[in-house]
């Protein structure tokens, strides 16, 4: 493969003492660059089990593992080390770390990561319980909030707002300290874009 100047910089192992973070859009070659960098580190003598390679999707992680296995198919010792290497998604890395240290972390060693369907179900149950509790505590306030939103999709909007907060790394307590939204959202958006 022919690499761009930025990709060549990313696979340069002379700076392996520094952390590497590859950011680019879909289909731009991130996984290929990560595989090449990983391969070069191993060829330079790095132990594959001392390299942490994290991607965002299971598909990309599986693709990386496959490409690494292909790159070292002639070396059975390296292939075996690659099988135990840290190539995964963020949640896969965290799950493996916790499983290997469950007792120390004080959690059940038989825990599992909820799949998308179960996660959605748990989220719906938690939201329903939270809204019921809010309604019990302040029925007039919740009714006013729902009327103010002018939608029957109240729980979905709350989940969407919560997901947006989590994605921005903001807690509920931090939201409470933020200034209210401007009366002119377009002007606020323009100002944010200019900044």
Would you give the distance in Å from CA 80 to the centre of its chain?
Answer: 27
Judge contact between 123 and 156, C-beta under 8 A. Answer: no
Domain of residue 190 covers 116-194
For residue 122, what is the enclosing H or E element? helix 116-137
Query: At which of 58, 82, 105 does a domain end?
Result: 105
pLDDT higher than threshold 90 for residue 106: yes
Other CB atoms within a 10 A radius of the CB of residue 28 amount to 14
Same domain? For 155 and 123 the reply is: yes
111 lies in some domain = no
Residue 54 β-bridge partners:
88
pLDDT higher than threshold 90 for residue 2: no
Same domain? For 39 and 84 the reply is: yes
Query: At which of 63, 79, 105 does a domain end?
Result: 105
59 lies in some domain = yes
Calculate mean pLDDT across residues 113-118. Answer: 88
144 lies in some domain = yes
Residue 52's φ and ψ, nearest 5 degrees, are -105, 115
Q: Any idea which residue has 């965290």 for tokens?
A: 94
Query: At which of 105, 127, 155 does a domain end?
Result: 105
> In whole angstroms, what is the distance from residue 118 CA to residue 115 CA?
5
Same domain? For 89 and 123 the reply is: no
Q: How many domains does the chain have?
A: 2
Same domain? For 75 and 56 the reply is: yes
Judge contact between 37 and 20, C-beta under 8 A. Answer: yes
Calculate mean pLDDT across residues 73-82. Answer: 85
* pLDDT value of position 193: 66
Residue 52 β-bridge partners:
86
pLDDT tens profile 120-142: 899 889 988 988 898 899 888 87
110 lies in some domain = no
Same domain? For 98 and 123 the reply is: no
* pLDDT value of position 94: 92
Give the up-direction half-sphere exposure of residue 162: CA atoms within 13 A in the CB hemisphere.
Answer: 11
Same domain? For 83 and 173 the reply is: no
Calculate mean pLDDT across residues 50-73. Answer: 87
Which tokens is 131 given? 């809204």
* pLDDT value of position 182: 63
């Amino acid at each position: 493969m022919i690499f761009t100047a930025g990709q060549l910089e990313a696979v340069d192992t002379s700076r392996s003492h520094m952390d590497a973070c590859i950011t680019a859009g879909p289909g731009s070659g991130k996984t290929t660059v990560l595989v090449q960098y990983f391969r070069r580190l191993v060829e330079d003598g790095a132990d594959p089990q001392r390299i942490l390679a994290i991607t965002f999707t299971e598909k990309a992680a599986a693709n990386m593992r496959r490409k690494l296995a292909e790159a070292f198919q002639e070396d059975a010792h390296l292939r075996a080390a690659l099988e135990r290497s840290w190539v995964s998604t963020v949640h896969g890395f965290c799950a493996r770390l916790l499983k290997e240290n469950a007792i120390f972390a004080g959690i059940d060693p038989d825990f599992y990561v909820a799949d998308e369907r179960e996660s959605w179900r748990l989220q719906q149950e938690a939201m329903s319980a939270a809204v019921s509790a809010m309604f019990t505590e302040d029925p007039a306030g919740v009714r006013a909030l729902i009327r103010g939103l002018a939608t029957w999709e109240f729980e979905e909007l709350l989940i969407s707002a919560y997901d947006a907060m989590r994605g921005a790394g903001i807690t509920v307590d931090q939201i409470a300290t933020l200034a209210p939204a401007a009366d002119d959202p377009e002007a606020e958006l323009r100002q944010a874009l200019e900044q």
